[in-house]
Structure 1
């Protein structure tokens, strides 16, 4: 709350500081801002000359306590001036025109000056020029009396609402001279004057009248009749006043709300003529009895103060009719007995003060609303167990300065929060003394006779107890007692509960007499702590060192482990990098070898291939070439090749070996061409550049793979090797100049059809096949094909001799070759003519023995070749010579006509 208030006032202070710096305040004054009003404090400076405030928007000006002798008419031009204090100066008069120009002035204080006559202030003229004046103080001057009938002596002001004439040595106030020309006067103070005679003060506007300490002896009913709107009347300290006695006229004030008749020595009073009275203060009188008739007609009372009287007896129904009573003060009386139903009917009573009475026993009191009961200094020595059982809303109970030596265990209150048992005679506290007060938060036990520490367990039920007073008790400071130490720790543990620590002193032993607990036992506790904690200190030091060493060791081990782990990770990463580089290098080498070998082979093959025009001029082959190797290899290499394909045991003859080698080479050529065709039709992915060729061992085919190929082949020379992209993009041999020739395949039976990749020259130039679309303009068409002799179809298509092979290239332009071309040979051309009466008919049994033997020999050779080259036949999908012979024989018997057998194409040109 304080912080919030400070935050709210901080802008005000800042404005005040800024305003002080902005205005030119005289050196003898102090100027400051309050909210938005400028204050100038020039009080008690011993000034005799008024300070100058030119162009300063003052609202409050304090010039009290100085030596000014005249009224400051120079401030008349200050339109903003609202408050002017000239009290405690030496001003002795007020001119008639002194207030001209003070149109905004609301408060004028001229108290304690040197005005000796009422006429010196020009009451009839001076205050008419201050139309906003509300408050005027002339207290402390010597004004005399208001008994003259002269109109010039009457105070004239239409705006004045408050007039203070206290301590003005006024002795007579009569008639309407004082208040006749004050139509708006509401508050009038005549206190501390010796009014020997007080007549009527007729005023319909007056609401508050202070006549305290005026020496009044009597107030008649006519006095109150002249003040019909009077609400507050203070007639206290008029010791000789007889007010509302039975033998006098009844005082009637129907609008009076507050009456203060304290210290008037009244022994009886009748307030029945004041029905709307709310507060009545009868303190310090001589009232002895309060019964149901005392406040019978005052049902609106909220506060009744009957303290400092001699009341001994209070009737059971004395306050039963006061349904609005909130505060009842019966202190400093002589009440010895208190009825339990005294305040039972007061449903909104909050405070009951019974202090300084002679009540010896606290008995049961019934109330559903009272929250505070003060019964201090009542000489109470005993308390009933059920004293608080009927106080359902009690929160504060003050039983201090009584003779209580024991508190019963059965006392119970669910709402009690503050319990004051200070300065009683309590010597012991039991474990159930405060267990019946679960809401107890504030406990006063100071000034009793407690000597032994209270176990903290006795306060176990008081969970909200946070303030305890235990000073001024004769404590026995047994510093070695564990209970004493525990009790001290309970009181001083944060937040500390002990609130009078400076009064907590020891009474014994004698060495600690009068000393505070802290000083008395601290030396003992410190010595004990030092003596008992010597080993503990060293143990703690050693344990600390050990813990630090262990921590350092663990830290070192952890760091070492992290370093080793980092090294392992680095080594593993390095190995992985090396492995990756090795794999990439192997991959690149392999791709380079494959691409280079493939490129070189293709380059060599392409380089040795003749152009179309060269091919036309080339001589005809004298013998069929099995492959390009057969054309290019030397005789020695060919022999080595034959020897490698024959069995080392030498079971076969040279003819058989030559025949097997011829067939093997032929099938290898067909297989290679078929594999090339597969490669041409294969589908390749988009990353051909980084792939490599993979061989299939079963099918003998190759496919382009991109697995494990992260980098392209390195160190490939463009001038010698083709790129992997060119190799991968190779689709077929259609771009070869030889593919422009479109040979036609002869119609032969399916079982005699072989995997042919091109046509032979004889087939293209044979005039018998002109109907198949052979161009007549071809240079080969001009040649007359050789007419091979008619031979019987046999299983053996190629006949290979045991001698040396004929030259692979035939010279077409030599005469010897021309003669030789006329001879019949089974391997002279790629085509042979089979002369049979019917090609569909199979050979009969009447054939010559010679052909039969040849047929059997061919079948036997085919079987051997089948056994030797079964794997090659499965891969290539071609027929063996024996099977071809059988098929030819069977078909010849069925067909019965001549058929051209097209031999497998050799790799002569490709």
Structure 2
């Protein structure tokens, strides 16, 4: 038993180590066609039976054992020469036809090379004299299964040359000639040579000082020359089996081997043998011959024999002292012979004998055998029918006795053995077991009674003396299953009680009664044993108690499961409720965040809408004013305040007359840039988002002006009418949106002149900016203050947009409003331009001789001029293409002139703001 546990522990340890090594193999980048695994500290790569035609790549993999057998390789793998770790290479069962002389260059670490069962057709195709010199570590070479033809020979180029080779396998290589000095000269370290399964037609001397093992089995040998063995000075193992015509042991062919220790001449049809020339022989196998007797002189000179196998012969007679000289004999096999009687002193002199095999003989009676050392005796299949009660008394160390498959019908009751542990009586004819049949075997632990004729149960008391009995085989017996028999129940309980002694329970079947035939004991008697158990009152009480306890336990278990299920259900419900609340809270939080974002966006949008002035296009789309306005204050102030403000801006401080309010018209003009007009179509189709700014400023590198980008504007493009379009010259005068009257800005003092409105009656900028000039109802220094006019220069005004009805009047051009301060030359009159300006210039014949502001009121105006002036004002007022951005008018010279003019006003002349300001 301890050995079994130790064996199990060893298996477990090996399994753990193998699993660990297999896990480590996952870290190796093994080719996909191979399987790599670690064994101890060596990496094995198995690529066999893959049908490969090209060798796999093992770059940077430390493979030591490589198996490439059973593939379709045709050439030797020279690419593996750089693998210093390669120790084992198996190329057997491929189609390699030759081995080049330099094929093994680089294989300095290779120890085993297997080229068995390839397509090598001749011994010279492997270049035996050159190829193996370049493998200095090669120990084992296999060329089995090729067609080599011969081995050795006198030609030096055909002799195998390797100074390191220890084992050479040339079996089944179709070799017919063996001989020469190849072993002693070319293979000085060869120890094992196999020439088995070759048809040797010629066998010559094969001298060698290093050869230890020689296998020449199944070589169709007829005679073995004694000189052949003598030439092998160190030969220890010789196998000559299966040479059916071999003559061995005659006087003239006496084999002499002073170092030969193991001889196998099995199945050679030998009828006599002489081993006297082998004094150190330790193992001899003579199985399957025709030996008829073994005498006293057969092994007289072989005192060192430890194993003698004489099985499968025709031995009938064995001398009394045939094995007495063999003092070291341990294993004697006499099975499959014709021995009918055993002498009691047959093995008495062999004190080292451990095993005796006498099976398959014709022994009918087992008599006493004397031996102080034998432990195992096999007498199975010997037709033994009678056993003497004293048969085991002479075997003081017997442990195992096999008497199976004999004709034993009665086992004697007085047999004794103090050391017997295993007794095999299987497949005999035993029908009864007496109470003292095994009482003489106190160490008995294993008893085989299967395959006999036992029908009645064996009382457990019969095994009272066998305290160590733990394994019983009782199957294949015709048992009568008397389930109600107390002895039967007691015997069953004895066999099945833990630890169970019955080892073949699945073969323990009933032969009778008929209704139980072929059934196992467990199934046949289960119903009866259950009913009988119910009939007992005490058992009924205990059954009731046990069932009650079981029922209570089951109820408690169900209750506990129900409570656990309810707790889990409640936990799931709480979890769902918590998730629902969490989702609701998250939804409310999202709604609040969205509302806050909308409010903040709306507030920001309102602030932006309030703080930012409309763009140019937005201003065009705004509704037109019913009346002219000069500033936002004029729009937001009350009506009375607006009137006062208008009076303060248009009349002098001492003017108290309440005449008709003069219509103030703005002469500022707006321009559209080329970029704004070109982006009109893009603005109509642009996708506008709800919270985007109106636009952003972009600078043009060509014109040097800025324009507003409205690609992402939230206001659509203005649909301008035909009359709103200006000419290219007018658009070219546009500088930027900073000059628009709707752009909120603070003008720079250095760039914007200190005036915002001009009077058309002024002849030059000096006239307007001269501080010596008297102010007209305004503060000194104001752009509307009266200044002393300089010498008027005739202004030529050309009406280009609106054709005047009075063609008889002479058109006079006016000088530009901005005077060149840095030029002393006299301004030359501007040429008449054909540009369709956006400003209207009045073509009056006498506008060149307009009087000064002091004398304007005294000049009488004709009816035609008044009509013309009113028509122009009406036309401007009703124009839908422009918005009033300012009003520049010439104030009356004095109060009397404005009151006596019957609603007449000074003629307004609109000029471009860019020309006016800059």
- One fold, TM greater than 0.5? yes
Instruction: Indicate conservation of the 8 Å contact 2:223/2:247, yes or no.
Output: yes
User: For residue 26 of structure 1, what is the aligned residue in structure 2?
Assistant: 31
Change (3 A) 1:377 1:539: closer
Change (3 A) 1:538 1:394: closer
Match of 1:541 among 533, 540, 544: 544
1:307 aligns with 2:315: no
Q: State the Cα distance separating 1:545 from its structure 2 match.
A: 6.9
User: For residue 115 of structure 1, what is the aligned residue in structure 2?
Assistant: 120
Q: State the Cα distance separating 1:249 from its structure 2 match.
A: 2.7
> What is the rounded CA distance, in whole Å, between the counterparts of 1:125 and 1:179 in structure 2?
17
1:295 aligns with 2:293: no
Task: Provide, for residues 556-580 of structure 1, a one-character-per-residue CA deviation record: whole Å limited to 9, x for no partner.
Answer: xxxxxxxxxxxxxxxxxxxxxxxxx
User: For residue 172 of structure 2, what is the aligned residue in structure 1?
Assistant: 167
Match of 2:449 among 431, 445, 449: 445
Q: State the Cα distance separating 1:95 from its structure 2 match.
A: 0.5
Instruction: Indicate conservation of the 8 Å contact 2:347/2:370, yes or no.
Output: yes
Task: Provide, for residues 426-480 of structure 1, a one-character-per-residue CA deviation record: whole Å limited to 9, x for no partner.
Answer: 1110101001111100001011111110000000000000000111111111111
Aligned residue pairs, count: 547
User: For residue 840 of structure 2, what is the aligned residue in structure 1?
Assistant: none
Instruction: Indicate conservation of the 8 Å contact 2:184/2:209, yes or no.
Output: no
1:411 aligns with 2:435: no
Q: State the Cα distance separating 1:519 from its structure 2 match.
A: 1.9
Task: Provide, for residues 63-87 of structure 1, a one-character-per-residue CA deviation record: whole Å limited to 9, x for no partner.
Answer: 1111111000000000111010101
1:350 aligns with 2:357: no
> What is the rounded CA distance, in whole Å, between the counterparts of 1:543 and 1:312 in structure 2?
70
Match of 2:257 among 248, 253, 258: 253
User: For residue 54 of structure 2, what is the aligned residue in structure 1?
Assistant: 49
> What is the rounded CA distance, in whole Å, between the counterparts of 1:508 and 1:543 in structure 2?
35
1:277-292 equivalences in 2 (<5 Å)? 277-292=281-296
User: For residue 228 of structure 1, what is the aligned residue in structure 2?
Assistant: 233
Instruction: Indicate conservation of the 8 Å contact 1:154/1:180, yes or no.
Output: no
Match of 1:273 among 271, 277, 283: 277
Instruction: Indicate conservation of the 8 Å contact 1:154/1:178, yes or no.
Output: no
Q: State the Cα distance separating 1:225 from its structure 2 match.
A: 1.1
Match of 2:529 among 525, 528, 537: 525
Change (3 A) 1:96 1:383: same
> What is the rounded CA distance, in whole Å, between the counterparts of 1:528 and 1:447 in structure 2?
31
Report SS of the residue matched to 2:269: coil
> What is the rounded CA distance, in whole Å, between the counterparts of 1:358 and 1:372 in structure 2?
19
User: For residue 153 of structure 1, what is the aligned residue in structure 2?
Assistant: 158
Q: State the Cα distance separating 1:189 from its structure 2 match.
A: 0.2
User: For residue 327 of structure 2, what is the aligned residue in structure 1?
Assistant: 323
Change (3 A) 1:371 1:8: same
User: For residue 593 of structure 1, what is the aligned residue in structure 2?
Assistant: none
User: For residue 714 of structure 1, what is the aligned residue in structure 2?
Assistant: none
Instruction: Indicate conservation of the 8 Å contact 2:191/2:212, yes or no.
Output: yes
Task: Provide, for residues 247-266 of structure 1, a one-character-per-residue CA deviation record: whole Å limited to 9, x for no partner.
Answer: x3321111000000111000
1:213 aligns with 2:205: no
Match of 1:85 among 69, 90, 111: 90
1:468-507 equivalences in 2 (<5 Å)? 468-507=472-511
> What is the rounded CA distance, in whole Å, between the counterparts of 2:411 and 2:155 in structure 1?
74
Instruction: Indicate conservation of the 8 Å contact 1:272/1:296, yes or no.
Output: yes
User: For residue 192 of structure 1, what is the aligned residue in structure 2?
Assistant: 197
> What is the rounded CA distance, in whole Å, between the counterparts of 1:547 and 1:305 in structure 2?
66
Task: Provide, for residues 458-511 of structure 1, a one-character-per-residue CA deviation record: whole Å limited to 9, x for no partner.
Answer: 000000000001111111111111111111111111111111111111111122
Instruction: Indicate conservation of the 8 Å contact 2:371/2:395, yes or no.
Output: yes
Instruction: Indicate conservation of the 8 Å contact 2:248/2:254, yes or no.
Output: no
Task: Provide, for residues 760-814 of structure 1, a one-character-per-residue CA deviation record: whole Å limited to 9, x for no partner.
Answer: xxxxxxxxxxxxxxxxxxxxxxxxxxxxxxxxxxxxxxxxxxxxxxxxxxxxxxx
Q: State the Cα distance separating 1:527 from its structure 2 match.
A: 3.5
User: For residue 201 of structure 1, what is the aligned residue in structure 2?
Assistant: 206
Change (3 A) 1:476 1:18: closer
Instruction: Indicate conservation of the 8 Å contact 1:306/1:331, yes or no.
Output: yes
User: For residue 188 of structure 2, what is the aligned residue in structure 1?
Assistant: 183
1:262 aligns with 2:266: yes
Report SS of the residue matched to 2:48: coil
User: For residue 735 of structure 1, what is the aligned residue in structure 2?
Assistant: none
Match of 1:337 among 324, 338, 341: 341
Report SS of the residue matched to 2:332: strand
Report SS of the residue matched to 1:39: strand
> What is the rounded CA distance, in whole Å, between the counterparts of 1:7 and 1:539 in structure 2?
45
Change (3 A) 1:542 1:330: closer
Instruction: Indicate conservation of the 8 Å contact 2:37/2:45, yes or no.
Output: yes
Q: State the Cα distance separating 1:145 from its structure 2 match.
A: 1.8
Q: State the Cα distance separating 1:342 from its structure 2 match.
A: 0.8
Q: State the Cα distance separating 1:147 from its structure 2 match.
A: 6.3
> What is the rounded CA distance, in whole Å, between the counterparts of 1:424 and 1:499 in structure 2?
19
Change (3 A) 1:13 1:216: same
User: For residue 557 of structure 1, what is the aligned residue in structure 2?
Assistant: none
Task: Provide, for residues 86-126 of structure 1, a one-character-per-residue CA deviation record: whole Å limited to 9, x for no partner.
Answer: 01111111000100000000000000111111111110100
Q: State the Cα distance separating 1:22 from its structure 2 match.
A: 3.2
> What is the rounded CA distance, in whole Å, between the counterparts of 2:408 and 2:40 in structure 1?
54
Point out the more displaced range, 501-510 or 161-170: 501-510
Match of 2:400 among 396, 402, 405: 396
Task: Provide, for residues 137-171 of structure 1, a one-character-per-residue CA deviation record: whole Å limited to 9, x for no partner.
Answer: 00011111236422110000000000000111111
Task: Provide, for residues 505-555 of structure 1, a one-character-per-residue CA deviation record: whole Å limited to 9, x for no partner.
Answer: 11111222222212222232234334x258844664369879999xxxxxx
1:129 aligns with 2:96: no
> What is the rounded CA distance, in whole Å, between the counterparts of 1:460 and 1:251 in structure 2?
59
Instruction: Indicate conservation of the 8 Å contact 1:12/1:33, yes or no.
Output: no
> What is the rounded CA distance, in whole Å, between the counterparts of 1:315 and 1:481 in structure 2?
55
Report SS of the residue matched to 1:16: helix
1:514 aligns with 2:518: yes
User: For residue 427 of structure 2, what is the aligned residue in structure 1?
Assistant: 423
Task: Provide, for residues 283-312 of structure 1, a one-character-per-residue CA deviation record: whole Å limited to 9, x for no partner.
Answer: 111101111110000000001000111000
- Give the TM-score normalised by the residue count of structure 2: 0.58
> What is the rounded CA distance, in whole Å, between the counterparts of 2:165 and 2:276 in structure 1?
34
User: For residue 686 of structure 2, what is the aligned residue in structure 1?
Assistant: none
User: For residue 632 of structure 1, what is the aligned residue in structure 2?
Assistant: none
1:60 aligns with 2:82: no
Match of 1:5 among 7, 10, 13: 10
Report SS of the residue matched to 2:532: helix
Match of 1:96 among 65, 80, 101: 101
Report SS of the residue matched to 1:146: strand
> What is the rounded CA distance, in whole Å, between the counterparts of 2:334 and 2:502 in structure 1?
33
Instruction: Indicate conservation of the 8 Å contact 2:152/2:181, yes or no.
Output: no
Report SS of the residue matched to 2:150: coil
Instruction: Indicate conservation of the 8 Å contact 1:446/1:471, yes or no.
Output: yes
Instruction: Indicate conservation of the 8 Å contact 1:384/1:408, yes or no.
Output: yes
User: For residue 73 of structure 1, what is the aligned residue in structure 2?
Assistant: 78
Gapped regions of structure 1 (runs ≥ 5) = 550-910
> What is the rounded CA distance, in whole Å, between the counterparts of 1:204 and 1:179 in structure 2?
7
Change (3 A) 1:414 1:536: closer
User: For residue 467 of structure 2, what is the aligned residue in structure 1?
Assistant: 463
> What is the rounded CA distance, in whole Å, between the counterparts of 1:506 and 1:282 in structure 2?
47
Q: State the Cα distance separating 1:14 from its structure 2 match.
A: 6.0
Task: Provide, for residues 218-268 of structure 1, a one-character-per-residue CA deviation record: whole Å limited to 9, x for no partner.
Answer: 00111111111100000001110000124x332111100000011100000
Instruction: Indicate conservation of the 8 Å contact 1:199/1:223, yes or no.
Output: yes
Point out the more displaced range, 125-134 or 175-184: 175-184
Change (3 A) 1:540 1:60: closer
